[in-house]
Structure 1
């Protein structure tokens, strides 16, 4: 009687008896929070105080727009996956995109002989993360590390010189 070939310990990865993990899905795992970064909408505004006393500067946005998630090319996942994973990791509430409205305003004290600058926009959380795909046969793609910027809240970036 002919001898049968040994039974493999693991089914073939892509045959009729291969393991099935469900539909392929892209995974993103945030690794490190790199802080917040401002994405301005419209031009920066400035006010110079040439007096010897503190003066009040008043900035009002005249431009509106939207700021969305930014994902580096190494990360092959949707914005909704990035938002969900970063929210879960850091316990924050983020958005796929935020709208900056015209008329957003702020008042700030400008010290003597200084210029105060302001720019309205969206503060985004910057992260590095690992992305990969789990295929239907339970194999995975190579893991890639990339960065994401996820909208957090609308606000002003202020500085002086």
Structure 2
């Protein structure tokens, strides 16, 4: 697996080796030994999630105040613009963000450690988004940072199309309110 560093040292873009032939392809999306030995991450995943969203759906930026989740995210159909924001108060990269396209075509994955807010925008007609998480989902501890918080300044790839955002996400707070 190829490791692609990002501007946030703990956020990693991963590109699995893909074996293709006339029948299709095969790739390994997760292997414990690789995460432990190559990435020095001793993590356990407790749940796998699958969401499907249509074009222009923006989800996030989500995080949990208790039971913070590390996420290994990937797209198996379609394309999204995926974003991680460092919300660790004592981090030298606090408030900084990283964004990248994840798609079925590029087969890349993003490791988003605990202590980061996460969100994505669907840029294809629809996208199937898979993610492994390191802790349970705890609705009462989930919080949302507003996707357009000017303090963070995420450069979403918007084409003057109307976004589809849940009421909860549209009422997210600014980073300065944390």
For the aligned pair, the TM-score class normalised by the smaller chain equals under 0.3
Structure 2 length-normalised TM: 0.21
Q: Please identify which structure carries the higher strand content.
A: 1
Query: TM-score, normalised to structure 1's length?
Result: 0.22
